[in-house]
Amino acid sequence: MLKDFSLRINGRTYKVTAFEEEPLLWVIRERLRLTGTKFGCGMGICGACTVLLEGKAVRSCLLTVRDAVDKPIVTIEGVPSNHPLKRAWIEHQVPQCGYCQPGQLMEAYALLLENPRPTRQQIIERLSSHLCRCGTYGRILMAVEAASRGGKT
């Protein structure tokens, strides 16, 4: 049965009608048209659908809309365009096809919020659950390292 929900996404409150068990991913993408968050596997394996929920990186394909009610959510659209991580992503030419990049960037963003100066090993471990078909893992690592230094390469 359809129900009305209130979601706080990127500092804005959205009223949405959805099924209680509908994955948060589909509500974000299809109902609210915030299409930066991607569908990859639908099983929480690839990481393409990663968003921040209460400041923690989560797979939005595994959460229901009901799980996210009145909790702050940040999608790729909510990361400031001038954030060092976004600048480093461009400077290090990370994207190839770009499909996995929102999830990768959101995981890195969460890491930097928790630990502004992670070690190389911490970055590798944190991002190890994200899949990239283009294999830009080395560039991703360099970008996160640069962002942790304030964007300095």
- pTM to 2 decimal places: 0.92
Q: Please list, in sequence order, all residues whose beta carbon lies within 8 angstroms of the beta carbon of residue 123, skipping any fewer than 6 positions away.
A: 108, 111, 141, 144, 145, 148
Q: Find where tokens 């560039």 sit.
A: 139
The pLDDT of residue 99 is 85
- End-to-end C-alpha distance for the chain, whole angstroms: 52
With bands split at pLDDT 50, 70 and 90, how would you rate the model's confidence at 153? very low
pLDDT in tens, 85-121: 999 999 999 988 888 899 999 999 999 999 999 999 9
Q: How many CB atoms lie within 10 A of CB 133?
A: 11
Question: In terms of CATH, what superfamily is 2-78?
Answer: Beta-grasp domain (3.10.20.30)
pLDDT tens per residue, range 24-65: 999 999 999 999 999 999 999 999 999 999 999 999 999 999
- Domain segments of the chain: what residues? 2-78, 84-148
**CATH label, 84-148, candidates 3.40.710.10, 3.40.30.10, 1.20.1530.20, 1.10.150.120:** 1.10.150.120
